[in-house]
Structure 1
Amino acid sequence: MQLTPEKLGDLSPQRRERLMARSNEDISSVFDHVRGILADIRARGDQASVDWHKELKADLTPDDFRVDHAEMTKALGQTPKDLLGCLEKAAVNIRAFHAAQMERPMWQMEVAPGIIAGRKTTPLDSAGCYVPGGRAAYPSTALMTILPAVVAGVGRVVVCTPPGEGLQVNPLTLAACHIAGASEIYKLGGPWAIGAMAYGTGVVPKVAKIVGPGNKYVTAAKMQVFGVVDIDSPAGPSEALLLADRTANPRHLALDFLSQVEHDPASAAVLVTDDAQLAQAVCQRINDIYPGMPRRQIMDQGGAYCAVLVADDMDQAIEFTNDYAPEHLQIVTAEPFVTLQRIRHAGSIFMGPWAPVPVGDYASGTNHTLPTGQGAKMFSGLSVDDFLKKPTFQYLTKDGLASLRQTVTTLAEAEGLPIHAMTVRERFND
């Protein structure tokens, strides 16, 4: 990866669009394949998953998908104590941050004399958390998806995570699920996991909502079961935008930049600054240290969505940032809280020289399940709100209804719904 600064104002429409189009993974190529898998699960339940997973375990039965007490105990015993301690410390911060998001259970107000209206907050009965796995372990994602549901008061928190050879799951992932408070865990991945949680099978229960990141097959499955269950925002490869001025340290920014690129060949990293010297210093630092970086096999395939951009001034840099709407936004400016006031679109924001994105990935308490691909213009990151319903209620006295009688009956008849009007009038005929 060789980087040179680019002038933001000189970007061609095609170059700008390519940077904006990161993470917009085309799932159309797998949509029909996933549809067939989901239809099979809906029709045959657990047996469909057994047939697809026999290559991992020859004598597989539906009950093998469930993580039992013995397997969890073994996983906890296999996990080094220092790692368990780190998971527990991260869980404490994540739990505390999400607990602070909880609203009062109910509120009401007198809209007008005789008319009381309000809203109550109730948790979902059940939720499904998808934790990626297979060739890698993502215990942090277990904490980030399970804990908000538990804090919200969801009665049944179901986890699905892909198994490897022998239908084994990384012990660290299971330990994280245990620490977070999952109700039950199943060794299923991809569309089979999403379909099982959406429709319910003999072993895996149906849930009300499915959350968590995944590859394009998982994304396609979640989009197709939406309506049968609720889902969180779509998410693609990781991305970060670094918004910096002359006060930033180029050595730190270089590693912040590369830390995003190491995720995936399709990951995106963009630095925007109003300081040309800083941009040049960051590019030089990246070019110098890149040959010795780990995970080169991934980074060598990437870079298509990476750029170091020089803006005319901070106004132009912030305008671009809001249009980009990054999943992760690092603000490294002289007055980050002042800059923050001008940010409209971002999934999670990291401010100052001591707040690199990895602290939010793991342990500062904020959630790392975030919208990508400009999704931050429409969605927020995962929170307790994703697991709460907020029905409204109203109570009217006779005088309260009388004050709305003419308004309701007139509007109902204007919409061609005469019985709506009759139900109000009838109450005054008694």
Structure 2
Amino acid sequence: MTDVTFKVLAELGADERAKLFRRSETDLSFFLDKAGPIIEAVKAEGDAALVRFGVEFDKAEGLTAGGLKATEAEFDAAFGEVEPEVIEAIRAGIANIRSFHEEQAPEPMWLKEVRPGAFAGDRFLPIRSVALYVPRGKGAFPSVVMMTAVPAVVAGVPEIAIFTPPAPGGKVDAATLVAARLAGVETVYKVGGAQAVAAAAYGTETVKPCRKIVGPGSPWVVAAKRLLSGVIDPGLPAGPSESLILADDTVHGGLAALDLLIEAEHGPDSSAWLVTHSRRVAEEALAALPEHWAQMAPQRVEFSKAVLCGPCGGIVLTGSLQESYDFVNDYAPEHLELLSAQPFEHLGEITEAAEILMGPHTPVCIGNFALGPNAVLPTSGGARSWGPLSVSDFVRRSSVGYVTAKGYPELAKNAKILADYEGFSSHANAVGPMRDAYLKG
């Protein structure tokens, strides 16, 4: 039996409990120190720094400044390199994601008559330019392209650029290019890591600067976003993958173990816990994990064992369903599965989760690839104040006001009273006799 982390919650002290809530990016001090010089190099040297870091960090031998942007020929060739069934799965996923996100799109403008002759409302316009970060270090993720590009296109963003680390040889993953084109994005830069965030923020000879960057990434990306938050909007905090599987006693523990491995296999920096009050479920899960590992690719076994046998993953046995709910809400996970034959019985108890997938037929991977809701989600407790990536992340809202001659007197009276109270003479003058004279003239 592999030494999977197994914790009985009632036996843990406060410090030990607190350790269960740590994620890999909790302490970014190392990455913040190292990302700073990378950012400065990109700011000072532009394309030359991007090429140097691509060769050094991504082993992209042959990468040149002229090849930092994917060409139309590379897009065309990608469709010949990807299996037709994969292309169709991408196409189907994009259709569901688009259908879901079109429902989120706000009206371009609305106005309400708040008082007779006085109107107030909102106007929505797309952000002018947005960078979409698509990781590649531990695999290829066309699904991230789908989840980030579709809402940006639905929102009407005029300038959308994908940043993704180059593969050895300086190529872009073919499925990433396929997904980009099918989603409606034709600008893909072969740049990853902290240098990608810097390029998006400052621009280079090849890269056009962007106003916002969204998408999940490694602690390097998270650190760079934090350092550059005064230059570019870093979007929601999306770091390495994390999930909680909340299982009650209506399911088999082997199924819980199967789903526990979904996010754990992303990489050793992921977090994944099975939370259950049922000792039977916990023991069945422990027994099933070796069987499931035997059916996985070796690298994914290595990654998931690093998570489930380390400090950021494993099995937590609680004393009751209420303790399980409390654990979930304290953790505020990126992905949450309510693994139960009656998941709606539990839904009302969950207040802190970015994504809630319910029942034995809704594993995290269906949410990641096919269902429609966005799978780019806040991590490291970000679900306490953030939601999933959505169309609203790609639009900006302006308040709109319009007061007619009929509505003016009442509002002016109240505004002048408060202006006088707060001691702002110009505020008061602007709605007093001085304005009346201009309006009458």
Among 223, 226, 234, the alignment partner of 1:223 is 226
TM-score under structure 2 length normalisation: 0.91
Q: Which residue of 2 aligns with 1:298?
A: 303
2:112 maps to 1:120:
no
CA distance in 2, matches of 1:389, 1:284: 50
Among 394, 408, 427, the alignment partner of 2:435 is 427
Shift of residue 26, structure 1, vs aligned partner: 2.0
Q: Which residue of 1 aligns with 2:112?
A: 109
* Contact 1:4/1:283 (<8 A) preserved: no
Q: Which residue of 2 aligns with 1:359?
A: 366
Mean Cα displacement is larger for which, 4-13 or 142-151?
A: 4-13
2:352 maps to 1:345:
yes
Cα distance 1:267–1:102, how it changes in 2: closer, same or farther (>3 A)? same
CA distance in 1, matches of 2:34, 2:327: 38
- Amino acid across the alignment from 2:184: G
Deviation digits for residues 172-225 of structure 1 (CA, Å, limit 9, x no counterpart): 221111111113111111122211111222221111211111112211111122
Deviation digits for residues 35-65 of structure 1 (CA, Å, limit 9, x no counterpart): 2222232233323323434565777543311
Cα distance 1:259–1:134, how it changes in 2: closer, same or farther (>3 A)? closer
Shift of residue 357, structure 1, vs aligned partner: 0.6
Shift of residue 276, structure 1, vs aligned partner: 2.5
SS in 2 for 1:232: coil
Shift of residue 281, structure 1, vs aligned partner: 2.1
Shift of residue 3, structure 1, vs aligned partner: 4.0
- Amino acid across the alignment from 2:325: I
Among 273, 277, 280, the alignment partner of 2:280 is 277
SS in 2 for 1:272: strand
Shift of residue 67, structure 1, vs aligned partner: 0.9
- Amino acid across the alignment from 1:67: A
Q: Which residue of 2 aligns with 1:157?
A: 160
Among 232, 243, 260, the alignment partner of 1:240 is 243
Deviation digits for residues 356-383 of structure 1 (CA, Å, limit 9, x no counterpart): 1111111111211111111111111111
CA distance in 1, matches of 2:48, 2:237: 28
Shift of residue 17, structure 1, vs aligned partner: 0.7
* Contact 1:134/1:163 (<8 A) preserved: no
* Contact 2:333/2:352 (<8 A) preserved: yes
Shift of residue 84, structure 1, vs aligned partner: 1.0
Q: Percent identity?
A: 38
* Contact 1:331/1:350 (<8 A) preserved: yes
Name the Cα RMSD after superposition. 2.2
CA distance in 2, matches of 1:178, 1:292: 33
Shift of residue 297, structure 1, vs aligned partner: 2.2
* Contact 2:54/2:166 (<8 A) preserved: no
Shift of residue 135, structure 1, vs aligned partner: 5.8
2:263 maps to 1:260:
yes
Q: What residue ranges of structure 1 are gaps of 5+ in the alignment? A: none
Q: Which residue of 2 aligns with 1:22?
A: 23
CA distance in 1, matches of 2:378, 2:115: 40
Deviation digits for residues 131-150 of structure 1 (CA, Å, limit 9, x no counterpart): 11256311111111111101
* Contact 2:25/2:219 (<8 A) preserved: no
Shift of residue 96, structure 1, vs aligned partner: 1.1
Q: Which residue of 1 aligns with 2:89?
A: 86
CA distance in 2, matches of 1:134, 1:285: 29
Among 135, 148, 151, the alignment partner of 1:148 is 151
* Contact 1:94/1:367 (<8 A) preserved: yes
Mean Cα displacement is larger for which, 392-401 or 359-368?
A: 392-401
